[in-house]
Amino acid sequence: MAVPAEPASGGNLNPKARSAARLGAVQALYQMDVAATPLDDVVDEFIEHRLGRDIEGVKVGEADAAHFEDVVRGVVREQRELDRQVDGALAKGWSLARIDSTLRAILRCGTYELRRCKDVPLKVVINEYVDIAHAFFEGDESGVVNAVLDRLGRNIRSAQGAEHGSGGKG
């Protein structure tokens, strides 16, 4: 199966709209995980009713629907490989299958972006998903996200640079 190497949404986008899309993608994947909502249903629900809407009185702002859909569908499509990579990057004694559903969604989304959204610098991907982890957790989870995505990002992006004969971004 051919997989797009670049995001469906293109490269000249509002960073805040992408941030809102990332938050929505994590929430959509969480909903799919805990409520077993089918992929097409969750994508439609979020695009039509939830993306860019205020959440519990917090102003979210406009969301990049194309980036949201690219991340959600990409994570589902590549989940087996993403999970293998995340599992390998977790600290000894940690297992992706045994961590919180929200943390699992964050790590999957971040790993997908590291693999497929080459227009987004490594540091941006890491910082965005660490911020999302802070929004959901008060403990060490944001540190786990930082460590895992940093480890994976260096491996993924350096391998991609070697494949293309350049150092790549980030």
* pLDDT tens digits, 101-116: 999 999 999 999 999 9
57: alpha, beta or left? (left if phi > 0; alpha if psi -120 to 50): left
Q: What is the largest CA-CA distance in the chain?
A: 48
| Pick from 151, 107, 147: nearest CA to 129 | 107
Between residues 162 and 74, the one the model is more confident about = 74
Cβ neighbours of residue 66 closer than 8 Å, sequence gap 6 or more: 7, 8, 9, 10
Instruction: Provide φ and ψ at 55, rounded to 5°.
Output: -115, 115
3-state SS class at 58: strand
- Count other Cβ atoms within 10 Å, centred on residue 131: 14
* pLDDT tens digits, 56-103: 565 567 889 999 999 999 999 999 999 999 999 998 888 888 899 999
CATH domain 15-164 topology: N-utilizing Substance Protein B Homolog; Chain A (1.10.940)
Report the distance separating Cα 117 and Cα 8, nearest Å. 9
Say if pTM beats, i.e. exceeds, 0.75.
yes
Report the distance separating Cα 17 and Cα 62, nearest Å. 5
